[in-house]
Structure 1
Amino acid sequence: MNTVIAFIVIFGALVFFHEFGHFLFAKRAGILCREFAIGMGPKIFAYKKGETVYTLRLLPLGGYVRMAGEDPEMAELKPGRRIGIVLNDEEEITKIIVNGKDRYPNARVIEVEKADLEHQLFIKGYEEEEEEARVFPVHREAVMVEDGLETQISPWDRQFASKTLGQRAMTIFAGPLFNFILAFIVFSIVAIIQGIPTDEPELGRLTSDGAAQEAGLQEGDKVISINGQGVASWSDIVAIVQENPQSEVEFTVERNGEVMDMPVTPQVREIEDQRIGVIGVYSPVEKSFFGSIVHGAKETYLWTVEILRLLGQLVTGQFSIDMLSGPVGIYVSTDTVAKSGIMNLMTWAGALSINLGIMNLLPLPALDGGRLLFFFFEAVRGKPLDRQKEGMVHFVGFALLMLLMIVVTWNDIQRFFLQ
């Protein structure tokens, strides 16, 4: 149960920050954001504030911000169509009732002759028993009612496509950017709480079941030598211990001004088919708020480089697609990490956030990187590509992405549950 909660919290935080980046910069650009969704599929919770509906959806496969103008949103008011309209005190239309007019007894019924709900914001039509059409101005925040659902109209200047190339690109780039920001914040918080690892030849925190604890070593012991070999850094200590699995080594340490010799037998740990020695000691740390911020930035950079390296191996064939993990694999890994403590779980969340940011920046259709690639082509051509063709490319890309997700998830199930 703890793993389920940890997975939900981590997944929710990663998706929330990603979508919040899109949402924040869309709002800054003046784009009408219709929905802010966490998850996909059927809604299990919805709350509307202002002009945005905030939803929680059933399937933990991502999230989205639905911006005005990106998809067909409402019925087209063709000539001859009969609609109901509700006016405010300034004689502006505030509600357009496409069907179900009987539910609005105060609505006036007109037959549409012409309508423009994007640029000039008007509806021209005939009321009953009138021979001459009348032009009704439409309020910028008017809503259209269809099948009982209200949808706010979106004037052209509130639509995504109306914004400058820079505003659109920044709105899309902000999602992955906020994943890197989240990772930086998480790594910095971990460093503030735990301290910043140093390379001093001292012992940090000891595990309760490690060889160091059993041998009587203590946190803060300064290591002078091991087996008579002088050590000048924490890295020296790690190297010697790893080379001696299950072989007794003699630590010479200084504690409170007293020098003492203490025999320790490193335990064995297997990493990638290699046996190394461990004694259950963390590296020494120092406390510094500013240093923690710097450390958070360094960790973000190092994880980014490492993930890019693994991605490069995947491209060159050194890393098999069978080794990729989907939601199932991430859940299993989260379970393993959660057992090692909250700080390790936070570090894992930071790494996942960077991974999500990088994956979304790949120049593939349906991903943020794919959309940014189309913006690059627009900048080179001096005009946008055909929206229908771009939409088809993204649709095909999304279908292939879902297929890859299914394959990866099946591989995870076979790897973790069917072997």
Structure 2
Amino acid sequence: MEMIQVVFLTVLVFFVLVTIHEFGHFYFAKRAGILVREFAIGFGPKLFSIKRGETRYTLRLLPAGGFVRMAGDDPEIVEMQPGQTVGLRVKDGKVTRFYLDRLDERSQIVRGEIVKLDIERELFVTLDVDGDIERYDVHPQALVMTRGQETQIAPVDRQFGSVSTGKRAMAIFAGPMMNFILAFFLFALYLQMAGVAVEHPSKVFVSGTETGAPAAESGLHKGDWIKTVNGAEIGGDSNLLIEKIQASAGKPMEWVVERDGQNVTINVTPDKATGKVGLYLRPEMRQAGFFETFKFAGTTMADMTERIFQSLGKIVTLDFKLDDLGGPVRTADMTAQIAKQGLPELTSWAAVLSLYLGIFNLLPIPALDGSRLLFIGLEAVRGKPVDPNREGMVHFIGFAMLMLLMVVVTYNDILRLVKN
């Protein structure tokens, strides 16, 4: 049962981090009027898919990120050309559906050969229907049906590249921004869950035990209040407890702990060689106040941001070894280990991951949000966009390099797990 819980919590952490990131892109793209075709968690083949409104929500096989596919920024555009035979479904004088195949199986459609077509600006189609030229207005949310798939048309004002640079920048920046907001919230939640150490403690508690160590074998549990050891009161002095343990290496000790309001006597024998029992301690805690929590979340984010940039600096200066890098496998393994320590520790770790994800995505590396913001910034300065083909090639090469690095790091992570 514990293993199932750890796996569930590990998957939940990644799901929340990716979902909140992609939701930032999704929400601000919708606010800008951009047509969002797909909101996806994961990459690769689809495991689950459902369409609500204009957007298809999908869960994909590889849980290594996600994406929001916006109109004008994706390859899934169905081409219709003059001379092509199509079927139209018309409602209230406007075309609501284009059928490109299996026309003989369609009922209540207008069938003809395209003479002229504009589904981006003027929104109309002219058909040759048995020698008669007929013009139809096209609904701005019309669907193109082919091979069992439907694709909504994207008028120019619904495409990513048509909105202002400010709105596009916000739609891109919103992903990392949501990760920063989530990190702040999780750091604050952690302090509320863990509490603050009392200035003059009167109690010492067990916060955890090492598997197979004397403390765990003797039956000490997380949350036990250690009252006396060999008849001597411990109070809030954890150093006194540690001294007594070290002085009793290989010798049985009698501990009295309070558990669920009852005193429980436990016999513990510290390891003879190390003089340790494999015990994690925590002091007496109190609930954190609102302003205290707010300050803690802010200062912790600042401290962690500095550490993250120090780590990234080592990568830039090549002052690292391959074992210093960790991919999804290593991160998942660390998350699972921390999940075993308890929900407060997992919450703090999730905050660190969210902060790191936000910062990493803002780096000016091709295919990341930071690189896309850089191109939008260049467009704002130059007064005209960078050639889409060149920008697309830069992002493609960057993505390929990231995937190659991911494969190398993941392979190394798997080897490390096998060796351990």
Q: TM-score range by the shorter chain?
A: 0.7 to 0.9
What is the rounded CA distance, in whole Å, between the counterparts of 2:32 and 2:233 in structure 1?
Answer: 57
1:185 aligned to 2:185?
yes
Contact 1:206 1:218 in 2 (8 A): no
Instruction: Give runs of aligned pairs for residues 129-278 of structure 1, distance below 5 A.
Output: 129-130=131-132, 133-197=133-197, 200-202=199-201, 206-207=205-206, 213=226, 216=229, 221=235, 246=246
User: What's the counterpart of residue 8 of structure 1?
Assistant: 11
What is the rounded CA distance, in whole Å, between the counterparts of 2:382 and 2:364 in structure 1?
Answer: 18
- TM-score using structure 2 length: 0.82
1:204 is displaced (CA, Å) by 6.6
1:290 aligned to 2:291?
yes
- TM-score using structure 1 length: 0.82
What is the rounded CA distance, in whole Å, between the counterparts of 1:189 and 1:214 in structure 2?
Answer: 30
What is the rounded CA distance, in whole Å, between the counterparts of 2:50 and 2:122 in structure 1?
Answer: 31
User: What's the counterpart of residue 47 of structure 1?
Assistant: 50
Instruction: Give runs of aligned pairs for residues 340-359 of structure 1, distance below 5 A.
Output: 340-359=341-360
Instruction: Give runs of aligned pairs for residues 21-170 of structure 1, distance below 5 A.
Output: 21-89=24-92, 91-130=93-132, 133-170=133-170
Structure 1: which 5+ runs fail to align? 228-236, 249-264
1:245 is displaced (CA, Å) by 10
CA root-mean-square deviation: 3.0
Contact 2:113 2:129 in 1 (8 A): yes
Q: Is the partner of 1:206 in helix, strand or coil?
A: strand
**CA distance 1:82–1:332, change in 2 (3 Å):** same
**CA distance 1:99–1:266, change in 2 (3 Å):** same
Q: Is the partner of 1:119 in helix, strand or coil?
A: coil
Q: Is the partner of 1:319 in helix, strand or coil?
A: coil
Contact 1:35 1:52 in 2 (8 A): yes
Contact 2:203 2:227 in 1 (8 A): no
- Amino acid of the structure 2 residue aligned with 1:111: E
Contact 1:115 1:122 in 2 (8 A): yes
User: What's the counterpart of residue 311 of structure 2?
Assistant: 310
User: What's the counterpart of residue 380 of structure 2?
Assistant: 379
What is the rounded CA distance, in whole Å, between the counterparts of 1:328 and 1:379 in structure 2?
Answer: 39
**CA distance 1:397–1:247, change in 2 (3 Å):** farther
**CA distance 1:384–1:214, change in 2 (3 Å):** same
What is the rounded CA distance, in whole Å, between the counterparts of 1:103 and 1:218 in structure 2?
Answer: 87
What is the rounded CA distance, in whole Å, between the counterparts of 2:306 and 2:322 in structure 1?
Answer: 20
What is the rounded CA distance, in whole Å, between the counterparts of 2:358 and 2:308 in structure 1?
Answer: 11
* CA deviations over 1:84-122 (Å, ceiling 9, x no partner): 001112x11111111122232111112111111101101
What is the rounded CA distance, in whole Å, between the counterparts of 1:266 and 1:311 in structure 2?
Answer: 42
What is the rounded CA distance, in whole Å, between the counterparts of 2:11 and 2:239 in structure 1?
Answer: 45
- Amino acid of the structure 1 residue aligned with 2:386: L
- Amino acid of the structure 2 residue aligned with 1:75: V
Select between 315-324 and 39-48 the one with higher mean Cα deviation.
Answer: 315-324
Q: Is the partner of 2:291 in helix, strand or coil?
A: helix
What is the rounded CA distance, in whole Å, between the counterparts of 1:291 and 1:413 in structure 2?
Answer: 41
Contact 1:187 1:299 in 2 (8 A): yes
**CA distance 1:266–1:190, change in 2 (3 Å):** farther
* CA deviations over 1:181-238 (Å, ceiling 9, x no partner): 111111111222222456x34367511657993755989x566x979xxxxxxxxx9x
User: What's the counterpart of residue 335 of structure 1?
Assistant: 336
**CA distance 1:137–1:156, change in 2 (3 Å):** same
Q: Is the partner of 1:61 in helix, strand or coil?
A: strand
1:309 is displaced (CA, Å) by 1.5
User: What's the counterpart of residue 251 of structure 1?
Assistant: none
Contact 2:203 2:236 in 1 (8 A): no
User: What's the counterpart of residue 364 of structure 1?
Assistant: 365
1:379 is displaced (CA, Å) by 2.2
**CA distance 1:156–1:323, change in 2 (3 Å):** same
1:287 is displaced (CA, Å) by 2.6
Contact 2:20 2:175 in 1 (8 A): yes
Q: Is the partner of 1:322 in helix, strand or coil?
A: helix
What is the rounded CA distance, in whole Å, between the counterparts of 1:245 and 1:169 in structure 2?
Answer: 59
What is the rounded CA distance, in whole Å, between the counterparts of 2:21 and 2:300 in structure 1?
Answer: 19
1:284 is displaced (CA, Å) by 4.2
What is the rounded CA distance, in whole Å, between the counterparts of 1:194 and 1:159 in structure 2?
Answer: 47
Contact 2:362 2:371 in 1 (8 A): yes
1:378 is displaced (CA, Å) by 1.5
**CA distance 1:104–1:290, change in 2 (3 Å):** farther
Provide the identity percentage.
Answer: 44
Q: Is the partner of 2:302 in helix, strand or coil?
A: helix
**CA distance 1:213–1:315, change in 2 (3 Å):** farther
Q: Number of aligned pairs?
A: 378
- Amino acid of the structure 1 residue aligned with 2:178: F
User: What's the counterpart of residue 259 of structure 1?
Assistant: none
User: What's the counterpart of residue 406 of structure 2?
Assistant: 405
